[in-house]
Structure 1
Amino acid sequence: MDKPSLTVANRSVAEWLSSLPTLILLLLTIFLASGEVIHSQLLKIGENTWEGYFLLRGAGVVEQPTCNRDPDLDQELAKAIKQKKQQMADDPLASIFGTDVDEAALRQSLESSRHNCRGRWERYELIQDKATPGVIAFRTLEGGVAKVVTTLGNYKRLLLCLLVMICAATATLTRHHISLRPAHTRKDHFVSSLGQLAANIMLLLSAWLYRGEEISAIADGVQVNHFYLHQFWIAGFLLLSFAAFYQLIRPPKDLEEGGTWGKAMLTIPLYSFMCLTAGAQFISQGYYHGISVYLGMMMELSTLFLSLALYIWIGMLLRQTKMAHLVFDVLRPWKMSPELMCFVVLAVAAVPTAYTGASGIFVIAAGATIYNELVRAGARKQLALAATAMSGSMGVVLRPCLLVVIIAALNNSVTTDELFTSGLKIFGLSLFLFFIYSQFARTAPARIAPFSEAVPQSLKRLIPLLPYVIIMGTVVVFFRDLLDTELNENYAPIILPVMLLAILAYEKLSTKSLHVFTIVLLPLLIYSCYNLWGINNALDAGAIPTGTSAEELNDLFWGLFWRNAILGACLAIYYLVKTPDMDPHYQPEPGVGEKMESSLRFATNETTGHIGALLMLMALSVSVGGIIERSGVMEMLPETFPSIWVAMTLLVVTMVIIGMIMDPYGAVILVNATLAQIAFDNGIDPLHFWMITLVAFELGYLSPPVALNHLLTRQVVGDEEVESAKVPGGNFYRRYEKFLLPIAVMLTALLLVSYVPLMSDSLHEFLFQKIQAGAH
């Protein structure tokens, strides 16, 4: 990468104008996501520190009551009677309802008013007596946090809009948008830039027309929410248009000559293809602002898409660490055959894939490492490319994948617990199928080192990973025990950035920082063990707290017990056993910083481009879904089918096609609006249907014509390396193994998950078990 010619404070102008605003928006998103947790903990601290804090929060805010707490009831009653009689005398219709005054009712009303007045005075005086300067200061802090969180919560759509526009402009200027092939020649660059310019101008016109439509609606008395966003969309699309025009007139100097127009068309970013296709269809229908309408639908899920942006940042931070290399160090002594190594890598990679949103981010973060290590282990390049691409999709059904959270948020027919429980079983099936297919396709005998040789070396190489376990454990225990926040699908976007920043501090600042985490972790573990003793006594005495059950309390006990035992063992082993040197083969990858500051800068710079590329692709996928929805194609499917087998077949084929041409995040919105109810009406269980959908999307990640994970693999591995993997001779399977192996695995899994449960009620119940609320 060329050094930028213009810098300010050793930072390029691009970093000041794109990476810095992106970092600020991401940090605001983290604060917004954690705001409720912070505020609830502040309330708990206040209540534990000052009795009746919820009442004391009114100190300095509640005004002194103006009512009389000791009125003369007889005098007040006489006034009330006189006033009532005067009202009746002035009312010509009063005689119809009677002219008698109910003195008893008036007295009771006056006594009730006196009681309420005295209560207000008592509360006011109590607040004044107990409201010390400490209470007022804490109340000011807690109230300020609540106000900031509430204010930011009202502008989540604006945060997402700004994030998309800034990052999309950066992706345009850095040629980072996702396309079927990169631009190498001047002809490629011209076609690609022209396609982006046309798409951005179409987006600009759509946003302008949509604003005009809503102005007309307001004039007609229709209430329009979030009208202010139109100005930001228009300004953003105008910025994108200028960026694309600049790219068009200022091509890079390293472009080659030659090329064909056909191949040049493949360099147009996918979002531009989607925009132009959807826009043309909307225009033909007279729905000129259709694209912007569906962008507004994306804003309805602003919280989830902001979480996705955080997951992208998490993935880029992960890339700055040595964790992936250290994991391979543990596997290397086993000297596994390439196919067996791929199987193990997919099993291990599924977890970080799920924790980075299963959007292909893990491929960007660790794909180069996975590919190079598999090739070092003897894997043929086609097999290594297949496994690298699959490493970014196998975790889509595992906790805490964001795609599953979106499904649960869109409908009430399934819960995240049910989806993740079934997903674990489906993941096991997919992994087993990969093992079977890869073994049939192997070119050499399967091998593995003797256990007596591999186990000692592998255990020895686990020791360098112990600091990471200690650091991650400290973060998890801190959030779990002090902030009552678990590392799950709801709070992973908050906790994971903290965890990775802590790891970078250990790697880049000083390894001695591990002692700080140890000092924090030890008292937390001691306190947790004290709580375990209390839980055990409660279980023995049968004193189960209200709102929980003995089974839940027992599960909590053993969960905390094993957590504390594992972390305690890691601390003991690390400080008592000599740490071996890291594998000598490790070499820092390009784009990985040597210091904390450079690592954060590189991670944020990469995050900016990836957010722009992925979110623009997802945003336009929603518009493509709108075209499909409005085309009436889905309505052509009958509401009921002759049999559940026919219904299942048509639904599976339809979802595979959707998964192949659309981003899964946009596709799941379309499927929820169209196919889901058809499936339910034909007797397909909701949990069964959504697991089929997820597996179909996994297949879509890996299947042409888009094959997003293969595109991302090419991006991180390099065009030259991918080209070198081509097999000039050999059979059809060997030439296209990187596509055929993943498709065979996921297609078989899809067929098994779709049809076999229909044949067996017991298998259906096992795979798609409903979880009662409060039973987990």
Structure 2
Amino acid sequence: MEERAMGETVKRDSGHWLQRSPAEWFSSLPTLLVLLLALFLSSGEIIHSQLLKIGENTWESYFLLRGAGLMEEPTCNPDPDINRLTRETLQRRKAEAANDPLAGVLGTPSVNEDAIRQSLQRSRENCRGKWDRYQIIQERVTPSVVMFRNVEGGVAWVVSSLGDYKRLLLCLLLMICATRTTLGRHHIALRPQRTVKDHIVSTSAQLAANALLLLSATVYRVEEAAAMESGVRVGHFYLHQFWIAGFAVLTAASLYQLIRFPKGLESGGSWGKALLTIPLYTFMCLSASSQFISQGYYHGIAVYLGIMMEMSTMFLNLALYIWIGMMLRQTRLTHLVFDVLRPWRMSPELMAFVVLAVTAVPTAYTGASGIFVIAAGATVYNEMIRAGARKQLALATTAMSGSMGVVLRPCLLVVIIAALNKNVTTTELFSSGLKVFMLSLLLFFIYSQFARTSPARIAPFSEAVPASLKRLVPLLPYAIVVGAVLVLFSDVLDRQLDEFSAPIILPVMLLAVLFYEKLSHHLLHLFALFLVPMIALSFNDLWQGYQALQSGELPTGWTHITLQNHLWGLFSRNLFLAGFLLVHYLIAPRMAKSEAVDPHYAPEEGVSEKLEGSLRFATNDTTTHIGAMLMLMALSVGTGGLIERSGLVEMLPESFSSIWIATSILVVTMVILGMIMEPFGAVVLVNATVAQVAFNNGIDPLHFWMITLVAFELGYLTPPVAVNHLLTRQVVGDDEVESAKLRHGSFFRRYEKYLLPIAVMFTALLLVSYLPLLSEGLHQWLFQKIQIAM
């Protein structure tokens, strides 16, 4: 992993907001604008729908009134002389029939006077309807209606207009962030650059890769231009200009880096180790491009980048998840959670178990793409060391904290699987995923206890419980802020937090937390003032729902069970929020502040104590990590295309003699793909190739995708790539990781950071893959089909 991008820039937190580096003006600011646009587009439809509801509830027939100033005055006559028009039409049609040269052959058609009269009457009614609507609008429209209509119509126009340019937003985001990452030497690699030889080898390889990308994009544009001239319809042709310009800038950035050596490089080193500093995306680009060029398919990489654009919404959501993770890093939430755990004085192995159980949830909510390791990995590692953990165990725990939540709601990877494959739903995947997660967690507990070097210990409950409860008090304001945002979306915008709305709600939630924590704690009172009436209104809804259950007059679209579950959920939510408010305002002030918080928190490097600095640092880090992640994903899609075209996957037979053999071969295939490919690109490849082979051999779709997800978890943690270990090295520090190496001891102790996670996930993979084949009952329980009724 390369060193932190623009390190000197992100460390400073002083000066006027105008005193920013060129990198911040030309990369971070555009990135922030693109992220805000993506967030607006994701929430725009929700906002517009709610605006329409507000308009209809405020003004009767708002759907008519919203046409004020837009509907032209009707030109038809609402009171025509029906008798005269009937006579004139009758005479005209008779004259036309008499002048018809074919009338003698086919006969003179009869003209029905009653039919003409009825047609004219219907036309009159339609005209009067137009005039009535026009008069209603003119009479009932007010300046407030016009003003609201302008806002609602403006939102609709912006959402519909910009919605067609999501591909362009993703392209711009990728190119801007990749350039920043290249200039900051922050691309994901197996080793950081330390020596002059490292720099020469790594930068030269990047220059070659970026030049090949530029060549591919240029050839692709020429090919599509020729296709258009021959009459073939080509979509989004304008994007070629941006790809070419972006790769030209990337190539220039690599050339600049090669000419201008960074300061602080060491002399010496070896050419062999220098190869390990080449970014992973560069390896993928060079290998895929060489194969495509040998096949005469010069624009192959660019074609598969176009396929990536087809999933622009998914990758924009991933960028939002990265932003969420970087904002989380600017808060104290992770430290406060560990404050709650400290009074238990757990042994290191037990502490690791609890950490993995707790961190799985934020891992799932940040996309399960290693973002949580970047956001909170340093804190996890330091807290493990404070608990007395050996460094190898602390590194293993930190790396696993970024992968255990991959099967939990609302992980983006699972959402992508359900979107690509219609045989499974997110509800089914998350239901099975929760069971698989519990199995993995249990396996970690068992393995870690066998690997412990000291007796298991935990503080007496009589001491730990009161101390932990006291340390929950500082978390209450955060619970109130988060609860207010959730209530805003659920009760005002009619959108619950789930796997589809998480990219919309979570950024707003983290922004609210930052405003409370960095700007003023007094803002908490505003969130509380919002919650109190909303809870009161919610209890009124609960009473009406209860009355509907008692009377049997259920709202449209609801069943007795779904309404009952909804009411229980609403009651529980209100009970918790009311409890948070009461404890914070009535009980917490009586508790001594010195007993509430453990005084070990110290701001980390790159974390600001001010709102502007926090947002700036978060956006800077987001820009760098988006560039690293998206380039890896983009070239992973290209590598997947190369594998698909090579026919390697097609070499798998369509049917095997046994489902056991089919499962074994597919398990090996999934693990290999998980080790060498980025998971999002791997899912696309697996869905297009391997999935159907599994289905043809009798493997249940839900079973297959659980195997795939666990195999990918194993791949995150297994060399030669082991992405989560690379991210851990980045946040913990190369020197700290090197200090964890042991020269003596057993093979397991020397490589525990790799072997413990591999042992846990490999065992989980074997159990998930084969045990359901032995027991039909276990298979049905673990991979339960769920019917959703509303």
TM-score normalised by structure 1 residue count: 0.98
Matching residue of 2:4:
none
Q: Is the 8 A contact 2:392 2:751 kept in 1?
A: yes
Rounded Cα–Cα distance in structure 2 between residues aligned with 1:344 and 1:96: 95
Shift of 1:114: 2.1
Rounded Cα–Cα distance in structure 2 between residues aligned with 1:109 and 1:199: 72
- Equivalent of 1:647 in 658, 662, 674: 662
- Equivalent of 2:642 in 604, 627, 646: 627
Matching residue of 1:451:
461
What SS does the aligned partner of 1:150 have? helix
Q: Is the 8 A contact 1:81 1:101 kept in 2?
A: no
Q: Aligned runs of 1:360-759 on 2, under 5 Å?
A: 360-575=370-585, 576-577=587-588, 578-579=590-591, 580-581=593-594, 582-759=597-774
1:191 correspondence with 2:201: yes
Q: Is the 8 A contact 1:84 1:101 kept in 2?
A: no
What SS does the aligned partner of 1:155 have? helix
1:764 correspondence with 2:774: no
Matching residue of 1:33:
42
Partner amino acid, structure 1, of 2:445: F
Matching residue of 2:150:
140
Rounded Cα–Cα distance in structure 2 between residues aligned with 1:486 and 1:539: 22
Shift of 1:72: 2.3
Matching residue of 1:45:
54
Matching residue of 1:330:
340
Q: Is the 8 A contact 1:68 1:117 kept in 2?
A: yes
Q: Is the 8 A contact 1:343 1:435 kept in 2?
A: yes
Between the two proteins, the alignment pairs up a number of residues equal to 775
Partner amino acid, structure 2, of 1:724: S
Change (3 A) 1:674 1:590: same
Shift of 1:758: 1.3
Partner amino acid, structure 2, of 1:25: V
What SS does the aligned partner of 1:488 have? coil
Shift of 1:93: 4.1
What SS does the aligned partner of 1:154 have? helix
CA deviations on 1:108-155 (whole Å, 9 max, x unpaired) are 332322222222122212222212222122111111100001111010
- Equivalent of 1:123 in 133, 142, 147: 133
CA deviations on 1:350-407 (whole Å, 9 max, x unpaired) are 0000110001000000000000100110111111101100000111111111111111
Rounded Cα–Cα distance in structure 2 between residues aligned with 1:93 and 1:625: 69
What SS does the aligned partner of 2:633 have? helix
Shift of 1:95: 4.8
Identity score, percent: 69
Shift of 1:522: 1.1
List gaps (5 residues or longer) in structure 1.
Answer: none
CA deviations on 1:487-515 (whole Å, 9 max, x unpaired) are 11111111111111111122212222212
What SS does the aligned partner of 2:8 have? coil
1:344 correspondence with 2:354: yes
Change (3 A) 1:26 1:100: same
Shift of 1:8: 8.6
Partner amino acid, structure 1, of 2:310: E
Matching residue of 2:25:
16
Partner amino acid, structure 1, of 2:58: T
Q: Is the 8 A contact 2:93 2:111 kept in 1?
A: no
Shift of 1:77: 2.6
Rounded Cα–Cα distance in structure 2 between residues aligned with 1:8 and 1:452: 51
Change (3 A) 1:97 1:763: farther
Q: Is the 8 A contact 1:7 1:13 kept in 2?
A: no
Change (3 A) 1:428 1:76: same
Shift of 1:608: 0.3
Matching residue of 2:68:
59
CA RMSD of aligned residues (A): 1.5
Rounded Cα–Cα distance in structure 1 between residues aligned with 2:781 and 2:303: 42
Rounded Cα–Cα distance in structure 2 between residues aligned with 1:669 and 1:663: 10
CA deviations on 1:217-239 (whole Å, 9 max, x unpaired) are 11111111111000000000001
Q: Aligned runs of 1:100-249 on 2, under 5 Å?
A: 100-103=109-112, 104-249=114-259
CA deviations on 1:313-356 (whole Å, 9 max, x unpaired) are 00000000111111111111111110100000000000000110
What SS does the aligned partner of 2:212 have? helix
What SS does the aligned partner of 1:594 have? coil
- Which deviates the most, 579-588 or 242-251? 579-588
Rounded Cα–Cα distance in structure 2 between residues aligned with 1:588 and 1:270: 32
Q: Is the 8 A contact 1:656 1:700 kept in 2?
A: yes
Shift of 1:600: 0.8
Rounded Cα–Cα distance in structure 1 between residues aligned with 2:251 and 2:74: 60
Partner amino acid, structure 1, of 2:648: V
Change (3 A) 1:111 1:628: same
- Which deviates the most, 635-644 or 10-19? 635-644
Matching residue of 2:3:
none
Shift of 1:78: 3.1
- Equivalent of 1:76 in 82, 85, 88: 85
Partner amino acid, structure 1, of 2:737: V
Rounded Cα–Cα distance in structure 2 between residues aligned with 1:94 and 1:388: 92
CA deviations on 1:609-638 (whole Å, 9 max, x unpaired) are 000000000000000000000001111111
What SS does the aligned partner of 1:223 have? coil
Shift of 1:97: 4.3
Shift of 1:434: 0.6
Rounded Cα–Cα distance in structure 2 between residues aligned with 1:306 and 1:346: 28
Rounded Cα–Cα distance in structure 1 between residues aligned with 2:706 and 2:527: 40
- Equivalent of 1:274 in 266, 284, 289: 284
Q: Is the 8 A contact 1:204 1:237 kept in 2?
A: yes
Partner amino acid, structure 2, of 1:273: F
What SS does the aligned partner of 1:547 have? coil
Rounded Cα–Cα distance in structure 1 between residues aligned with 2:80 and 2:515: 68
TM-score normalised by structure 2 residue count: 0.96
Rounded Cα–Cα distance in structure 2 between residues aligned with 1:89 and 1:155: 59
CA deviations on 1:464-501 (whole Å, 9 max, x unpaired) are 11111111111111111111111111111111111111
CA deviations on 1:610-667 (whole Å, 9 max, x unpaired) are 0000000000000000000000111111111112111111111111111110000000
